[in-house]
């Protein structure tokens, strides 16, 4: 139990995928304008990351390692992730149409979200067990969600601020992102799992 | 060697096949019923995804048209043909519309204007405009670095002698250049409008003359010459009301700076 908590907290705060590892920056900037779509997007990412971790672990262990094809990891994992994203898209389109519309192009772009591929590859690199891999995938998704919620909360506030003309829009967002990332350095080395 | 290649192909192939089958089953299970009319409308639209209709793309516009939320006349790329086709699909009457084209309201070429400073930075109008409103002596005129050309997907804009001009037969009125121009000198006009006040300079008299040899000095001669009350000098600039203009060219004849001219291709 203690271990599980450590993994989740460690991934969210110490080794945050977006703010410390700098993975998945594209949706971090692209979908963080509104809290609603940020929540939807990160929900989809949590789902994809958790299941991608599980499926890629199985694919790696029982197909790639068995036949000595570890060098195909990247392409095999991308295949898994792409299929999962398609699946999520189908489900969203059917059940939550407004969310599907507001996510727009960013939903299929989860396929190329390097955080998802990153978590799949890190699972293998750290030689996690199956349970650990799924947990790590889930908490990686949570860390993405955490970063996105933080950022979109600030960006919604920024909309009403009187920002200097040359900093309006993306520049001030990038400055904000840099400050959040800097402040996350404070968690560095607090605990490891 | 051959065996390892074959195992690799087989392994990835089988994984791919499994996912493919699973996805196709899922797409049947989770299929969403869509209005067949949307497909029909979408088939008629040109598929340029330019956004001139005000929707994100052709798909969204098709959805709105099929629902009856949007007018069928909004697609500027397709013009009259698409309106006619849409009227058949949607069973409503087609309206006659005049084709709109973009026009650049500036003729301040290199010989008509001067450079205030030598600009060597990034070659976009937006960048040079950030430096003291651009390097041209006229701070209202065309900067000639082609932000509009880059925005245009139809090869309808060329730059010659530092001023952009529109190739009207290529223009589809998607308004991307209007949005791209930092000087706001590109406007939409009906294609029938030939007489153009090719200036956006709101300064008066001498100040304009110093900046550009073909600038509007707001002398109001055109306003007096016009028999149809179609041209008005407002805020230091002559503006033509194309609902009233008959292309009679009276204003062209009296304009002392040759700012008003006949637009020819």
The answer to whether A76 contacts B8, with C-beta atoms less than 8 Å apart, is: no
**Which H or E run contains B188?**
strand B186-190
Whether B45 and A93 have beta carbons less than 8 Å apart is answered as no
Confidence class of residue A137 from pLDDT cuts 50, 70 and 90?
very high
Report whether pLDDT(B78) > 90: no
- Confidence at residue A136, expressed as pLDDT on a 0 to 100 scale: 93
pLDDT of residue A88: 84
pLDDT, mean of residues B143-166? 90
Name the residue of chain A whose CA is nearest to B20's CA: A83
Q: Which residues of A touch B32 (CB under 8 A)?
A: 93-94, 97
Model-wide pTM > 0.80: no
Q: Which residue has the higher pLDDT, A131 or B56?
A: A131
Q: Which residues contact B28 (CB under 8 A, 6 or more apart)?
A: none
Quick one: pLDDT at residue B181?
A: 92
Nearest CB among A68, A80, A87 relative to B26 is that of A87
Using CA coordinates, name the residue in chain B closest to A97: B32
**Could you tell me the two tokens for A66?**
């068995």
Look at the block and give the residue holding tokens 């849409």: B86
Angle at alpha carbon of residue B153, lines to A173 and B43, rounded to 5°: 100
* pLDDT at A175 (0 to 100): 93
Burial tier of B6 (Cβ tally within 10 Å: 0-12, 13-18, 19+): exposed
> What angle is formed at CA B31 by the lines to CA B26 and CA B36, rounded to 5 degrees?
150
Phi, psi of B80 (to 5 degrees): -60, -35
* Average pLDDT rounded to a whole number, residues B191-213: 87
Query: Closest by alpha carbon to B153, among B77, B41, B257, B238?
Result: B77
Question: For B189, what's the count of Cα atoms within 13 Å in the CB-facing half-sphere?
Answer: 24
Q: Is the pLDDT of residue A161 over 80?
A: yes
Number of neighbouring beta carbons within 10 Å of residue A192: 8
Q: Where are the domains of chain A?
A: 2-187
From chain B, the residues in CB contact with A75 under 8 A are 12
Please, what sign has the CA dihedral across residues A139, A97, A81, B23? positive
Q: Is this complex scored with an ipTM above 0.90? A: no
Helix (H, G, I), strand (E, B) or coil at B239: strand
Q: How close does chain A come to B97, measured CA to CA in Å?
A: 32
d(CA B67, CA B35): 9
Average pLDDT score, chain B: 87
Q: Does the distance separating the beta carbons of A87 and B23 come in below 8 Å?
A: yes
**Burial group, residue B159, by CB count within 10 angstroms (0-12, 13-18, 19+):** middle
Task: Give the pLDDT score at A29.
Answer: 87
Residue A143 confidence (pLDDT):
94
Whether the per-residue pLDDT at B264 is higher than 90: the answer is no
One-letter-per-residue 3-state SS of B130-152: CCCCCCECCCCCCCCCCHHHHHC
Q: Which of A104-118, A127-141, B243-257 has the highest mean pLDDT?
A: A127-141
Across B68-76, average pLDDT: 81
pLDDT at A193: 63
Residue B104: what are its φ and ψ, rounded to 5°?
-90, 120
* Residue of chain B with shortest Cα separation from A104: B56
Is the distance from CB of A7 to CB of A136 less than 8 angstroms? yes
- d(C-alpha B152, C-alpha B145), whole Å: 13
Fold of the domain built from segment(s) B36-90: 3-methyladenine DNA Glycosylase II; Chain A, domain 3 (1.10.15)
- 8 Å CB contact between B228 and B203: no
Average pLDDT over residues B205-217: 88
Pick the CATH number of B100-262 from 2.40.10.340, 3.40.228.10, 1.25.40.10, 3.30.70.20: 3.30.70.20
Among positive and negative, which fits the CA dihedral A44, A45, A46, A47?
Answer: positive
The conformation of residue A63, written as its DSSP 8-state character, comes to I
Residues from chain A that touch B30, judged by Cβ atoms under 8 A, are 90-91, 93-94
Confidence class for position B191, pLDDT limits 50, 70, 90? confident
Place A119 in a pLDDT band, splitting at 50, 70 and 90: very high
B187: left (phi over 0), alpha (psi -120 to 50) or beta: beta
Please determine, for residue A151, whether its predicted confidence score (pLDDT) is greater than 90.
yes
Cβ contact (<8 Å) for A90 and B4?
no
Read off the DSSP letter of residue B263: -
pLDDT value of residue A192: 66
Q: Write out pLDDT tens, residues B3-49.
A: 888 888 988 899 899 999 999 998 888 877 777 888 888 888 888 77
Averaged pLDDT for residues B76-88: 83
Per the structure block, which two tokens stand in for B180? 């791209």
Does the structure show a pLDDT above 90 at B62?
no
What residues does each domain of chain B span? 36-90, 100-262
**In chain A, what residues touch B61 (CB-CB under 8 Å)?**
none
Lowest mean pLDDT among A124-128, A155-159, B63-67, B162-166: B63-67
């Amino acid at each position: 139990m203690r271990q599980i908590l450590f993994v989740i907290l460690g991934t969210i705060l110490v080794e945050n995928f977006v703010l410390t590892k700098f993975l998945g920056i594209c949706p971090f900037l692209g979908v963080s304008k509104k809290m609603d779509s940020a929540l939807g997007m990160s929900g989809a990412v949590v789902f994809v990351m958790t299941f991608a971790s599980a499926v890629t672990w199985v694919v790696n262990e029982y197909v790639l390692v068995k036949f000595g094809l570890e060098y195909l990891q990247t392409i095999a994992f991308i295949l898994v992730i792409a299929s999962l994203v398609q699946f999520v898209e189908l489900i969203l389109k059917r059940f939550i149409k407004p969310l599907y519309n507001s996510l727009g192009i960013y939903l299929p772009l989860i396929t190329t979200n390097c955080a998802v591929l990153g978590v799949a590859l890190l699972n293998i690199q750290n030689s996690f067990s199956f349970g650990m891999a799924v947990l790590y995938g889930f908490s990686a998704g949570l860390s993405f969600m955490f970063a996105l919620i933080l950022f979109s909360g600030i960006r919604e506030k920024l909309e009403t601020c009187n920002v200097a003309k040359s900093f309006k829009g993306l520049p001030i967002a990038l400055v904000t992102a840099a400050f959040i990332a800097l402040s996350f350095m404070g968690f560095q080395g607090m605990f490891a799992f | 060697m051959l065996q390892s290649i074959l195992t690799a192909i087989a392994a990835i192939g089988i994984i791919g096949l499994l996912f493919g089958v699973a996805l196709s089953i899922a797409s049947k299970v989770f299929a969403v019923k869509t209005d067949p009319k949307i497909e029909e409308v979408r088939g008629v639209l040109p598929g340029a995804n330019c956004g001139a209709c005000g929707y994100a793309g052709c798909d969204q516009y098709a959805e709105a048209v099929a629902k009856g939320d949007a007018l069928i006349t909004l697609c500027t790329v397709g013009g009259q043909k698409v309106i006619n086709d849409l009227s058949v699909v949607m069973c409503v009457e087609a309206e006659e519309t005049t084709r709109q084209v973009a026009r650049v309201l500036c003729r301040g070429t290199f010989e008509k204007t001067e450079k205030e400073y030598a600009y060597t930075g990034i070659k976009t109008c937006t960048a040079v405009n950030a430096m003291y409103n651009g390097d041209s002596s006229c701070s209202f005129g065309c900067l000639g670095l082609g932000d509009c050309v880059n925005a245009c997907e139809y090869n309808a804009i060329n730059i010659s002698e530092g001023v952009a001009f529109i190739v009207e037969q290529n223009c589809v009125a998607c308004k991307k250049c209007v949005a791209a121009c930092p000087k706001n000198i590109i406007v939409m006009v009906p294609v029938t409008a030939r007489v153009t006040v090719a200036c956006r300079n709101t300064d008066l008299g001498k100040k304009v003359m110093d900046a550009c040899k073909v600038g509007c000095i707001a002398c109001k001669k055109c306003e007096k010459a016009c028999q149809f009350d179609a041209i008005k000098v407002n805020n230091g600039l002559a503006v033509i009301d194309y609902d009233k203009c008959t292309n009679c060219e009276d204003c062209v004849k009296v304009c002392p700076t040759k700012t008003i001219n006949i637009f020819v291709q």
